[in-house]
Amino acid sequence: MMRQLLLTLSLALLGTVAMAQPASAFCETPAQHFDVNTPGSGILLTIANIDANTMYVEIESTEGGAVSQLLVNGGSGAQISNANTGVPGKISKFLTWPGTPPADVFMEILWGKEGFPGLWLLQPGGNTYPFNAVCDGLAPPPPIVNPTFCQTPVTHFAGDPPSEILLTVTNIDPNTIFVEIESTDGNAVNFMQLQTATPGGAISPPDFSVPGKISQTLSYASPPAEVNINLLWGKENFGGQWLLGTSPTTVSFAVNCDALAIPTMGQWGLFYLALLILILGVVGVTATKTAMQLSTTEGSRSASFSLTQFPFEKGAFFAAFKMVLLFVPLAFAFIYVVWGEIIFDDIVGMALAIPMVAYLVYLVKRS
């Protein structure tokens, strides 16, 4: 009896040992570029299992600037999440398999840091890592929150300044999301190709109807809760195309850029409003003075407002117009100093502002 009990306990112990998950080789483990001593590249690397279908990769800087990018290529068929920045100073990505995950997962891991223009690579050609390896005592990253793009600056692989665009991804009806791009510099966008890894979606042709912008829509008969998208774009003075990410980005289908639905005035709009108020003010004061002078000589007169109160003398107006043109180079210089660039909107805005300023100068000289 005792012998059978000992045998049963031994088998149970062996079963427990056999079922125990192995320890990962990377549990906040120091790592560097090419796995050799490369100053500035140092990170703490974690590669660990979370559950039956999910593992994660997490990095944290040990020297130099904070980590700014994490690329996980490969994945042996996994769905690779967006970058998770829920823990300050760390970046992580989840790898999830809808079905049975492989025993070993191939990955190529790259990272970047603030103040460093390139990327570091853990091992040339990548490597395989056990799916079920764990890091005892380390808590996994918090659940990822899907990013939102509402005129959000993005770049090629999150690190190529000349590629920067403003990206908008917003729901416009129960079955459709709208994707729009616009350059952030004077090099206008001229190419857009929306891609989706979520089956069943219909992508519209690019729409160039809004100057300086390109848009496409993604529609589903039965919309999913989330869609995985990627994006290619180009600019006029660039011979190739840029790509948003090495893997699709997950966005919520119902996400809505409410702020974009409310038109707001930019700097030029506010400038036009100020000019209009000044013009109305000068005209109003001049009309009031005239009415008061007439009332003393001709009795009471109507104080009603009319377009005849806006004077216009062609010769005097064009004299003011020429004077204003002399200050245009100074105005453009001011724009460049304050905002660091001159874009197409500034050229159009200046062209519309010049006659308004000229008329204001004409009114002030006339009054």
Residue 165 has pLDDT above 70, yes or no: yes
Distances from the Cα of 243 to the Cα of 9, 107, 152, 231, 246, angstroms: 58, 20, 15, 6, 7
276-290: pLDDT as tens digits:
888 888 887 877 776
pLDDT of residue 332: 86
pLDDT of residue 3: 54
Please report which confidence band the pLDDT of residue 295 belongs to, taking 50, 70 and 90 as the band edges: low
Residue 138 has pLDDT above 50, yes or no: yes
The pTM assigned to this predicted structure is 0.52
pLDDT of residue 247: 80
6-31: pLDDT as tens digits:
445 444 443 443 457 899 999 999 99
Looking from the CA of 243 toward its CB, the CA atoms found within 13 Å total: 8
pLDDT of residue 14: 39
Work out the average pLDDT over 151-180. Answer: 92
Burial 117-150 (b: 16+ CB within 10 A, else e): eebbbbeeebbebbbebbbeeeebbeebeebebe
Listed in sequence order, the residues at least 6 apart from 252 whose beta carbon sits closer than 8 Å to its beta carbon are 146, 148, 225, 226
Residue 232 has pLDDT above 60, yes or no: yes
Q: Which H/E stretch holds residue 78?
A: none
Distances from the Cα of 91 to the Cα of 80, 121, 209, 326, angstroms: 13, 15, 39, 53
**Token reading at 172:** 């416009």
How far is it, in rounded angstroms, from Cα 341 to Cα 275? 24
Work out the average pLDDT over 152-173. Answer: 91
pLDDT of residue 294: 62
Q: Please give the mean pLDDT across all residues of the chain.
A: 85
List alpha helices for the chain, DSSP H: 2-19, 267-298, 314-325, 328-339, 344-366
How far is it, in rounded angstroms, from Cα 192 to Cα 27? 41
> CB of 133 within 8 A of CB of 49?
yes
Tally Cβ neighbours within 10 Å of residue 208. 13
Domains and CATH numbers, the chain: 21-130 (2.60.40), 149-261 (2.60.40), 267-366 (no CATH)
How far is it, in rounded angstroms, from Cα 193 to Cα 121? 29
192-201, 322-331, 340-349, 356-365: which range is least confident on average?
340-349
Residue 365 has pLDDT above 90, yes or no: no
248 vs 32: which has the higher pLDDT: 32
pLDDT of residue 37: 86
How far is it, in rounded angstroms, from Cα 236 to Cα 174? 34
147 vs 123: which has the higher pLDDT: 123
Residue 261 has pLDDT above 80, yes or no: no
